[in-house]
Structures are given as C-alpha cells and as structure tokens.
Amino acid sequence: MDLKKYIRDVPDFPKKGIIFKDITPLLQDSGAFQYSLQAMTSPWKGIKIDSVLAIESRGFIFGGAMAAQNDWKFIPLRKEGKLPYHKLSESYSLEYGTNTVEIHKDALQKGENVLIVDDLLATGGTIKAGINLVEKLEANVAGIVALIELTFLEGKKQFQGYEFCSILKY
C-alpha cells in the first residue's frame, strides 16, 4: 500500500515556509491506519517489548492502538503540567526557546523494555528527551518508531546507537 497517498501536504502551517505533513487522511482510512500500525509494529517482532512510551498528542493515537494490539503497557510522555503525580521533567532546545516533557516516576519498572512511538520525527528533540527520561528511570529503550521521518532535518543523529525505524521518509 502506498501510504504516502494518505499524507497531505499543507503549505505554510504552522507558519510561513513550513510544509506540514497532515496525517488525518491516513487516520480516516481504516485500511491505511491498520497498514501503518502493522508497519510500525513489525520491525519489533522477536524483540521483547513491555511498554510503549507514546508522545503527546498524535503519538497517543498510534501508541494506544499498538499497545492494545500487542498487549503492551501504555505510558504517556506529556507536555509540561499535564501529568498529575510525581514526575520527572526533561527540557530541550527549540529554534527559539525550550520545550519540556514529563513522565510519571512510577511509569516504568527498572529494566523494562520500552518502545518509543511518535507520528513524526523532525529534529528529534522530543524523542531524545523521552530516551533520557526512560533511562533516568533505569528502564531500557528497546526501540524508537515514527510513521514519518523528515530526513533532511537529520533528527536521528540525536539518538545514534539506538534501534530506530520510520515508515515514510521525506
């Protein structure tokens, strides 16, 4: 299945000069959504995964579905101020300013094998922050998967040495 047919380019969103990759046409085609989930899951067959760390908020759509389909635990990586309980924070630089993501301190057991899931890899800052938080909790990043990779941004340089897979490359 040619999944790229279901990704819509929206020019000048969220700001002028950026071409946004809109995944909503893919999500609203149940066959394309299923195919995407399968493609994002199959690289990890034979690897022990205990939990999905899904990145807010589009990562929740894929992560929730993959957790349900594979009987994995679901752990949210959330934007600052959203998680209610004891948590760890990690900040990373953006073009202007910084961004912060958070995880509950009791989200992962020591040694647990975690698959990090997001819809899109751009500069990789959020995923790298997720890796740092998983490792601060002494769990293990078994892999990282994104539906879309903007290869020209070279985000995966941020996590060399980790197993990473993307399905659609631009």
* CB 133, CB 101: distance < 8 Å: yes
Q: Which of 8, 58, 90, 135 is catalytic?
A: 58
Buried b / exposed e along 97-111 (16+ C-beta atoms within 10 A): eeeebbbbeebbeee
Strands 51-55 and 98-104: unpaired
- Residue whose C-alpha is closest to residue 134's, from 53, 58, 68: 53
Which listed range, 33-41, 120-128, 137-145, 158-166, lies at the site for its own copies (CB under 8 A)? Answer: 33-41
Q: Which of 8, 90, 95, 154 is catalytic?
A: 95
58 part of the active site? yes
Contacting residue, 16, 46, 71, 111, with its own copies by CB under 8 A: 71
Residues between 3 and 32 with contacts to its own copies, criterion CB under 8 A: 8, 10, 13-14, 20, 22, 24, 27-30
Q: Does 84 bind its own copies (CB under 8 A)?
A: yes
Which residues lie below 8 Å from residue 58, measured CB to CB, with a gap of 6+? Answer: 23, 118, 119, 120
Neighbour count for residue 61 (Cβ, 10 Å)? 18
8 part of the active site? no
Interacting residue ranges for its own copies, rule: CB under 8 A: 8, 10, 13-14, 20, 22, 24, 27-30, 33-34, 37, 51, 54, 56-58, 60-65, 67-69, 71-76, 81, 83-85, 104, 107
Q: Which residues are catalytic?
A: 58, 95
